[in-house]
Amino acid sequence: MTTIRHTLHDATRQIRPVSDSASLDAQLLLAEVLGKDRAYLLAHGDDIISADQLAQFAAVVQRRAAGEPIAYILGRRAFYDRELLVAPGVLIPRPETELLLEAALEFTADKPDCTAADIGTGSGALAVTFAAHRPQAHVYAVDISPAALDIARKNAAQQQVHVTFLDGDLLQPLIERGIQVDVLMANLPYIARDALPNLAVSQYEPSLALDGGPDGLDLVRRLLRDLRQVCEPGALALLEIGADQGEAALSLAHTLVQPRQAAILKDYAGHDRILRVEC
């Protein structure tokens, strides 16, 4: 017979080599298996786990210990003020991307019926959460991956928000339909291709959502080149970038867009994170 406390201790030990939050990971996985919350586990450490539950837990711990992201194992990830569905076909939403969302919400605070677009929507994290906070807005979400659009549609349905999903490459679906936007959000692939094989993220998350070409800025460059075709005068574009790409991204914005204003927003660690372009 094995108690919750002993089971968590053993699982934490197995997960620790691949995770800086091994104890939390173990708790989340066991809570999922038992159909309880973390508070229950902490208050019932001496409870016995059944053989079937132990077998289920051992299977998911093995997956986590092999490096599989916990979000894929659980099938969901917290983002901003809600929980979203995720699957191996989409990039797992990161806390840094919440900064981009906050900038978009701040910009549209006095424009509740704005038109917004999320390019390379993936799980739909930006589009769906923006739509939840701006229910009067017209929100478009674009992705070239059918698998990603399927997950994004499910998130929109689960969160009960209206988003128009478009299948296609970057801004082309908007250009083809003559859609003009007030705010454009994009978390495009920005990892340099040669660096990708050496990163843990490449083991499980889709390369389509990671590979930014030789310098990591291929898709950013292509989007900026067409930006004027979809942005109203005075519109705002927000693009997530890599921590060392601020100077290069800013130069591209000035060359390709000739904006009213362009700046780099830092993340909480002080790294370059968002290219902010006022058209």
| pLDDT tens per residue across span 166-187 | 999 999 999 999 999 999 999 9
**Domain 2-68 belongs to what architecture?**
Orthogonal Bundle (1.10)
Please identify which residue in the block is written with the tokens 């490459």: 169
With 0-12 / 13-18 / 19 or more C-beta atoms within 10 angstroms meaning exposed / middle / buried, residue 213 is middle
Q: What is the pLDDT of residue 208?
A: 73
In CATH terms, 87-278 corresponds, of 3.40.50.150, 1.10.10.60, 3.20.20.140, 3.40.190.10, to 3.40.50.150
Q: What is the pLDDT of residue 191?
A: 76
Q: What is the pLDDT of residue 74?
A: 95
* DSSP bridge partners of 118: 141, 185
Which residue spans of the chain are classified as CATH 3.40.50.150?
Answer: 87-278
233-264: burial string, b at 16+ Cβ within 10 Å, e else:
eebbbbbbbbeebbebbbebbeebbebeebeb
- pLDDT at residue 76 greater than cutoff 90: yes
Q: What is the pLDDT of residue 211?
A: 66
> 40-63, pLDDT tens digit by residue?
998 999 999 999 999 999 999 999
Q: What is the pLDDT of residue 237?
A: 98
In sequence order, the 6+-apart residues with CB closer than 8 A to the CB of 163 are 124, 127, 128, 131, 139, 140, 141, 152, 156
CA atoms of 276 and 279, how far apart (whole Å)? 10
- pLDDT at residue 210 greater than cutoff 80: no
Q: Mean per-residue pLDDT for 2-21?
A: 93
Which residue spans of the chain are classified as CATH 1.10.8.10?
Answer: 2-68
Q: Mean per-residue pLDDT for 117-142?
A: 97
Do residues 103 and 266 make contact, with C-beta atoms less than 8 angstroms apart? no
Q: Mean per-residue pLDDT for 85-104?
A: 94
The pLDDT confidence band at residue 213, using thresholds 50, 70 and 90, is confident
- Determine what percent of the chain is predicted with pLDDT higher than 70: 99
Query: Would you give the DSSP letter of residue 138?
Result: E
**Amino acid (1-letter code) at residue 142:** V
Structure tokens given for 231: 């942005």
